[in-house]
Structure 1
Amino acid sequence: MAKKNSKEKHVFAKSVQIKNRRASFEYHFLDTYIAGVVLQGSEIKSIRMGKVNMQDAYCYFKNGELWVKQLNISTYTNATYNNHEPTRERKLLLSKRELKKLEERLEEQGLTVIPTRVFINDRGWAKMEVALAKGKKLYDKRDSLKEKDLKREIDRTKY
């Protein structure tokens, strides 16, 4: 039997990339950060299965810490009686410098922090990409729809 390389140990068969597509339609992203997420055991299993809904999720500061609310991680079907609560608040892990910078920027009018993507990194840990964002106006949303349609038409004519 051949030995496995140590590099192959952390390679997962299915790469998990869960995106919040609605966020890019509703907001202009000014800055993005990669944060760790404090999870329970059954939550990471649900994330690996791709059972995450980020549509209504948002981030806020409480006591100098960043928390995500309304992030729905479905219950794990094979868990025991002590399964996790799907919409509980989860703490995000960022460095003190990043937290301070984000909190200072949030003082500006019209800025918010929203989660844009949940993924599993190469070490097998769940990470969340959060963005400092500003809401789009109605005409900005129309422009982004027009650009999307034009790009689709150009791609069709190429083939």
Structure 2
Amino acid sequence: MNGKKKEEVRNVVADNRQARRDYQIEETFEAGLVLTGTEVKALREGHATIREAYAAPENDGIWLINATIPEYSAGNRENHEPKRPRKLLLNKRQIAKLAQAVERKGYTIAPLRLYFNERGIAKLEIGIGIGRKAHDKRDVVKERDWSRQQQRLLRDRG
């Protein structure tokens, strides 16, 4: 992450393991989220889904689309809409880089992980990636299984 010391993730709310399988992630970014109060409370309860979500550049920034944060259980009529688009907080250079990457053919901004950092602020790890074909996905799984098998063999012999 650009030469900075990687911070330890404390409270992972949602993890999108499918994105790492479906896309070849080239670069990752950490983004803040513009959330309402009931959305933060629902996240603290551990309810969120980012599996079907994606991020897209709009006129004034990058927006997280199709992410589900269900209504807060103890909320009232002022509760939030579960699937509303949410703005991602990034600096101008990052926004420009992400927008330029999406314009290239085949690139997608995929959310990888939604978590609270050590200060208790909700963060989203996003990655720029190219979609993989079905045979590429199978090759990745075969490689991973073979490396696990090699580790087991080395551990058992030594």
Q: Please, which runs of 5 or more residues in structure 1 have no aligned partner? A: 1-13
Q: Tell me the distance in 2 between the aligned counterparts of 1:65 and 1:96.
A: 8
Q: Distance in 1 between matches of 2:116 and 2:58?
A: 26
Tell me the residue number matched to 1:51: 47
Match of 1:102 in 2: 98
Q: Normalized against structure 1, the TM-score is what?
A: 0.84
CA separation of 1:27/1:41 partners in 2, compared to 1, >3 Å: closer, same or farther?
Answer: same
Of the three residues 92, 117, 126, the one matched with 1:130 is 126
Contact persistence 2:12–2:113 (CA under 8 A)? no
Q: 1:64 maps to what in 2?
A: 60
Query: What TM-score do you get using the length of structure 2 for normalisation?
Result: 0.84
Consecutive unaligned residues in structure 2, runs of 5 or more: 1-9
The answer on 1:79 being equivalent to 2:110 is no
C-alpha contact 1:72 1:86 (8 A) present in aligned 2: yes
Equivalence for 1:36: 32
Q: CA deviation at 1:97?
A: 1.1
Residue number among 16, 21, 40 corresponding to 1:20 in the alignment: 16
- How far the C-alpha of 1:147 sits from its partner, in A, is 2.6
Distance 1:46 1:113 in 2: 24
Structure 1 residue 139: Cα displacement: 1.5
Question: What amino acid is the match of 2:39?
Answer: E
Q: Structure 1 residue 152: deviation in Å?
A: 4.7
Following superposition, the deviation at residue 105 of structure 1 comes to 2.1
Contact 1:73 1:87 in 2 (8 A): yes
User: May I ask how many residue pairs the two structures share in their alignment?
Assistant: 146
1:118 alignment counterpart: 114
